[in-house]
Chains A and B, each alone.
Chain A
Amino acid sequence: MKNIKTINKKTYSDTTFAGCGECRSSCQSACKTSCTVANQLCENKKRLEKTADTVTVR
């Protein structure tokens, strides 16, 4: 495209049905160096490859 460059190849719809709970517990308090969930990683890293029946990979 001439006017648009999309940065990410995957979107939330690719992960909507995860929710295994194995990721780090996040604290939103400033003093615990969190304040966001966005910088956390999914512990179930292989789910995108392994769970094609429940996850749509774009």
Chain B
Amino acid sequence: MLHTFELDGEYLALDVNSGALHVLTKLAYDICGKLESPLGEKPPVELFELGYPKEEVELAYGELYSLFEQNLLFSPDFVVTMPDNQKMPLKALCLHVAHDCNMRCGYCFADTGEYCGKRELMTPETGMKAIDFLIESSGHIKNLEVDFFGGEPLMALDTVKIVTEYGKSRASQVGKSINFTLTTNGALLDDETIEYLDREMYNLVLSVDGRKSVNDNMRRFPGGGSTYEKIIPAFQKLAKTREENGTSYYVRGTFTAKNLDFSEDVFHLSDLGFGEISVEPVALDESHPLALKDEMLPRIFEEYEKLAIGLVKRIEQGEHINFFHFIVDLEAGPCVYKRVKGCGAGCEYIAVTPSGDLYPCHQFAGMEDYRLGNIYSGFNDSAKPLRKRFENANIYTKPECGKCFAKFFCGGGCAAAGVKYAGGEIENNYKIGCELERKRLECALYLQAKTSSGN
């Protein structure tokens, strides 16, 4: 399978089954549009009807044929036999230390922190039990992860501190390590907390939507008031420290139907000094007033292109700016196993609620049909078929993925989006999510082509 596209005057070809990315002349691009696999040694006669000189067509075709022979163009499809369950043990927890929040965001998927349940914080005991569960379930895997999530996890900072200390100690005792991450809205960040988080967390996700008007329209305190004014100085301090230390963080925003000009939010965050930026499409039922809809796709595609072109300019001017969804590593990216199954929910990755209930991921928390067990009693036997379905969901078993050019970069999409927005099954594809994934990949590849050496 070959995917060709044009963006900002660049003609690009992604050979889907090898991952090879080619920058083409307009002639080679036009020829590719006429070709079908397998290629023959001689150019098909219809290529000479494209309006280019015969010798030029023969030269370009010869070059394309050479790539075909090297399995870099129209390379053959392949099927990866996924590792058996023994090779995919649990390795990551989403630890919901707070089912409560001190903001009221317009697009919150978590029912303003309650997750359709009650407002509660996780006790340190439950958090430590979750650490034990993770380590005992992790088999041969040495690199483990725990993400403190909510609600707002800093509302349970005592639990965060105790669980982090316990987790690092327990992991080292058994020759493993746990990378702790935390996602925060920033409302409770003070100097002491910033110092703690910078010291103890492997990665930090800092939630802010961009421009003040956009942010404050969506991300509100319960009693009103600008969250932007409160959080930006703290986020800037934290980000500066992380950049100086070379440690990970992201400022992370959401765009909705109300700010389809979201490239302005990305550039605003960049202008505030943030180098690691993620601004992502909201995922909501189409009946929601903030939801992205099919008819908005051309506008969103245009905005992604504008963002990609703008990023190239800023990078060329020496600015440090990484837009998370345009990052691809064509040389040392994930192995094919990882590419075949992106979502680890229900097998590699489990969410734990404050009461210790286990769910396939944070998106399912509070959905009784998807409760897999409890941290104190383990996985329910009755949940085995469901866990098996999660394990089996990958680009080969999801019907829509097979024909998609982005499949080895996407990994199959979000199971929860399939359940919530695409007909109720984890194997279903959320159409808007897929469309945006494909567009983002084109932009990411364009960025690679523009910023790679020699171009």
A-to-B contact residues, CB < 8 Å: 1-13, 15-16, 18-45, 48
A39 engages B27 (CB within 8 Å): no
Closest to A9 in B: B331
- In this complex, the member of B179, B333, B349 whose beta carbon has the largest number of chain A beta carbons within 10 angstroms is B333
A-side binding surface: helix, strand, loop or mixed? loop
A13 engages B324 (CB within 8 Å): no
Judge whether B91 is part of the interface by a CB distance below 8 angstroms.
yes
B-side binding surface: helix, strand, loop or mixed? mixed
B-to-A contact residues, CB < 8 Å: 15, 17-25, 27-28, 59-60, 63-64, 66-67, 71-72, 75, 78, 80, 83, 87-89, 91-92, 94, 109, 140-143, 145, 147, 179, 183, 205, 250, 252, 254, 278, 280-283, 324-325, 327-339, 342-345, 348-349, 361-363, 408-417, 433, 437, 440-441, 444, 448-449, 452, 454-455
B417 engages A29 (CB within 8 Å): yes
When A and B form their complex, which 10 residue pairs have the shortest distance between CB atoms, in order from nearest?
Answer: A18-B335, A25-B92, A19-B337, A8-B330, A38-B409, A28-B414, A37-B411, A39-B327, A3-B28, A11-B18
B278 engages A33 (CB within 8 Å): yes
Closest to A28 in B: B414
- With a CB–CB cut-off of 8 A, which chain A residues contact B147? 32
CB distance from B231 to the nearest CB of A (A): 17
B336 engages A18 (CB within 8 Å): yes
B362 engages A31 (CB within 8 Å): yes
Among A1, A11, A32, A36, contact of B20 (Cβ-Cβ < 8 Å): A11
Beyond contacts A2-B60, A7-B448, A27-B94: 11 other A-B pairs, Cβ-Cβ < 8 A, are: A6-B67, A19-B83, A21-B337, A21-B348, A26-B344, A28-B414, A37-B342, A39-B325, A41-B329, A42-B335, A45-B332
Among B25, B252, B343, contact of A28 (Cβ-Cβ < 8 Å): B343
Among B63, B89, B362, B363, contact of A4 (Cβ-Cβ < 8 Å): B63
- With a CB–CB cut-off of 8 A, which chain B residues contact A42? 332-335, 338
A25 engages B67 (CB within 8 Å): no
- With a CB–CB cut-off of 8 A, which chain A residues contact B27? 3
- With a CB–CB cut-off of 8 A, which chain B residues contact A5? 22-23, 454-455
CB distance from B454 to the nearest CB of A (A): 7
- With a CB–CB cut-off of 8 A, which chain B residues contact A11? 15, 18-20, 71-72, 75
Given contacts A5-B22, A26-B411, A39-B325, contact A12 B17 (CB under 8 A): yes
